Structure 1
C-alpha cells in the first residue's frame, strides 16, 4: 500500500503534464478581448472587467490557497475546473455587461482555486519521494507544456473565431470538462497539519502563520514582490497586444499565429531554465532581466518590429517564472505552500487592479501606443528600483 502511494506521487508529475496542457489550451485566450469588443464593449469597459477579475482574485487568493492546504490540492483543482466551466458558459450567453461581470468573477475564482494548489501538489509530491531538487527542471518542462498548449490554442482559437466565437468557446468548454475529469486521478500528498480540525479557526491560523513567514523572510518577500511585478507587465502587454494588432489591420488568424510563435519561443527558453540559471546566476535573472524587459516594452510601443519585442518579453517572463518559482518553493514549508503561493498571486492581482484599467482608459482617450509608452516608463522606474533594492540587499 505504501509503495502504491509513492508510485502515485511519482505519477503526479506525468499526470500534471496532461492537466497543464488541457488547462492551458486557451482557445479563447487570444481572442477574448476582440470578442468583447465585438460585443460592443470599449477598451475602458474591458479594462474594468479585467480589474473586477483581479479584485475578486485579490480577495479570494488567500482563502482558496488555505483551502488547498487544509482540504486538499486535488479537490481545489477539481473545483477550479468546475467553476471555469460556469464562467465560460456565462461569458458566451450573457447579453448584458453585468452578465460579463459575473462571468469574470467566476473566472477569477477558477484561477484562484488552481493558483498555488497545482505547484504545491507537484512540489510536495517530489518532496515526499525526496526528489525536490528536480523541481526546477520539471518546472521548465511544465512551462514548455503550458506554452505549447497555449500555442496550439491560440492558432486554433484564431481559426475558429474567423467562423464564430461560439465555436471557440464551445471547444473551450469541452476541454475544461476533460481537465476536470482528469484532475480526479491525482494522488494527494500527505501534508501534516499542526491542527487537525478543519474549522474557520484553522483557516484563520493558516493565513496568519503564512503571512508571518513572508514578513520575517525578507528574501521571500523580495522574490514575490519583484516577480509578480514582472508577470503583471507581461500579462498587460499580452492581452492589449491583441487589440493593438487588430487596430493596425492585422487579421485574427495572423494575430493568433504571432501570439502562438511567441508562446513557442518562450517554451523553448523555459525548457532550458535550469541550465541558464546555472550559467548566468541569480544576479542576472533578478536584477538584469527586468531592465531588459522594460526596454522591450518601448520596442513594442515604438518599433515597427513590435512583434519581436513582444516575443522577447514573453521569453524573459517564462524564464523568470521557472527559476524564481524554484527559489520561492525552497523557502516555503509544505503545510503553508499553497497559501503562500496564493499570497504571491494576490500581489499580482493587486498590481493588475491598478494597471490594467488605466491602460484601457489611456487606449480609449489617446491610443494603445501611448498607453504602452506610459507602461514602459513605469516598467523602467520599477526595474531601476528593483535593481537598487537588489544591490542594497547585497545579493
Structure 2
C-alpha cells in the first residue's frame, strides 16, 4: 500500500506519545524480587514457582493467535490498550494474591496482556510512520524505542530492589500495576493509523494461522526451538533469586 499523502490528524502526536507507552508497558518494579516474594511472602515452593511459570508459558502460546487476530481484525490501538489494562490487573492481583489459585490467575492475565501487545506494537509503529511518509525510518525508530525500553527495565529493576529495603515485598509489584495503568492512559490517547482491513472472520484468520504452522515444517521447528529457549530462560529467572538468597545475598 502506498504511503498516505495526507495523514489523519493526531498521527504525529501518537508518534510522540508512543515512546512513553513503549517504556511503561512493562514497568516491572518486581523483577529483582518476585521469586523471593512468592517463596517468602506467599509460602510457595520453588517447584510451585516453576509450575506457575509453566502455566504462563502455555497461556502465552495459546493466547498468541487469538489476540493477534484481535489486533488485525479490529484496531491495534485497542490491542495495546487492552494489553496494558490486562497487565495492570495482573500486577495488582499478583501483588495481593493470597492463594496459589489467584497467583495462577494473575499469570494467565500476564500472558493475555503480553500477547495482546506482542506484534501489535510493531505494526502500530510501522503504520504510523507510513502514514506520515516516514516508513523508511522504521528500523531506526524501532531500535531507539527498544533501547529506551531496555534502559527503563534496568531503572525499574533497580528502583524496585531499593524499594523493598523500606517496604514489604508486595509494594513494588502493586505499584507496577499503577504504572501499567499510566501506560494504558497513553494507549488511550493514541490515534489509529490507516491500514488495510481484513475482510475475513475472526475464526477463519485464527484457523488459517494455526493450519499454516501445522502444515509447514520450518514453522513447526521455529515454534519448538522458541519454546525450548524460552523454557530455559524461565527456569533460569525462577531459580537465580533463591540461589542468591541462599548464598547470603540480602534482598
For this structure pair, what is the TM-score category when the shorter chain's length is used for normalisation?
A: 0.7 to 0.9
* CA distance 1:78–1:70, shift in 2 (3 Å): same
Residues 30 and 239 in structure 1, CA contact (< 8 A), matched pair in contact too: no
> Which structure features the higher share of helix residues?
1
**In 1, Cα distance between equivalents of 2:234 and 2:125:** 24
What is aligned with 1:244?
A: 243
Q: How many Å apart are 1:128 and its aligned residue?
A: 4.1
Q: In the TM superposition, what are the counterparts of 1:163-242 in structure 2 within 5 Å?
A: 163-195=167-199, 202-211=201-210, 229-242=228-241
**Please, which of 146, 151, 155 is the counterpart of residue 154 of structure 2?**
151
Q: What stretches of structure 2 of length at least 5 have no aligned partner?
A: none
Residues 53 and 107 in structure 1, CA contact (< 8 A), matched pair in contact too: yes
Give CA deviations for 1:56-110 in whole Å, capped at 9, x if unaligned. Answer: 2222211111001111111111111222222222222222111211121222211
Residues 95 and 171 in structure 2, CA contact (< 8 A), matched pair in contact too: no
Residues 80 and 113 in structure 1, CA contact (< 8 A), matched pair in contact too: yes
**In 1, Cα distance between equivalents of 2:133 and 2:53:** 40
Residues 26 and 153 in structure 2, CA contact (< 8 A), matched pair in contact too: yes
TM-score (norm 1): 0.56
**In 2, Cα distance between equivalents of 1:96 and 1:214:** 37
**In 2, Cα distance between equivalents of 1:219 and 1:9:** 37
* CA distance 1:53–1:217, shift in 2 (3 Å): closer
Residues 12 and 122 in structure 1, CA contact (< 8 A), matched pair in contact too: no
* CA distance 1:213–1:58, shift in 2 (3 Å): closer
Find out whether 1:108 has 2:111 as its counterpart: yes
TM-score (norm 2): 0.84
* CA distance 1:178–1:192, shift in 2 (3 Å): same
**In 2, Cα distance between equivalents of 1:24 and 1:85:** 10
What is aligned with 1:67?
A: 70
Q: In the TM superposition, what are the counterparts of 1:1-395 in structure 2 within 5 Å?
A: 3-5=6-8, 8-38=10-40, 39-162=42-165, 163-195=167-199, 202-211=201-210, 229-252=228-251
Task: For CA contacts below 8 A with separation 6 or more, give which structure has more relative contact order.
Answer: 2
**In 2, Cα distance between equivalents of 1:158 and 1:212:** 44
Q: How many Å apart are 1:40 and its aligned residue?
A: 1.0
**SS state of the match for residue 113, structure 1?**
helix
**SS state of the match for residue 54, structure 2?**
helix
Residues 28 and 168 in structure 1, CA contact (< 8 A), matched pair in contact too: yes
Computed over aligned residues only, the root mean square deviation of the Cα atoms, in angstroms, reads 2.8
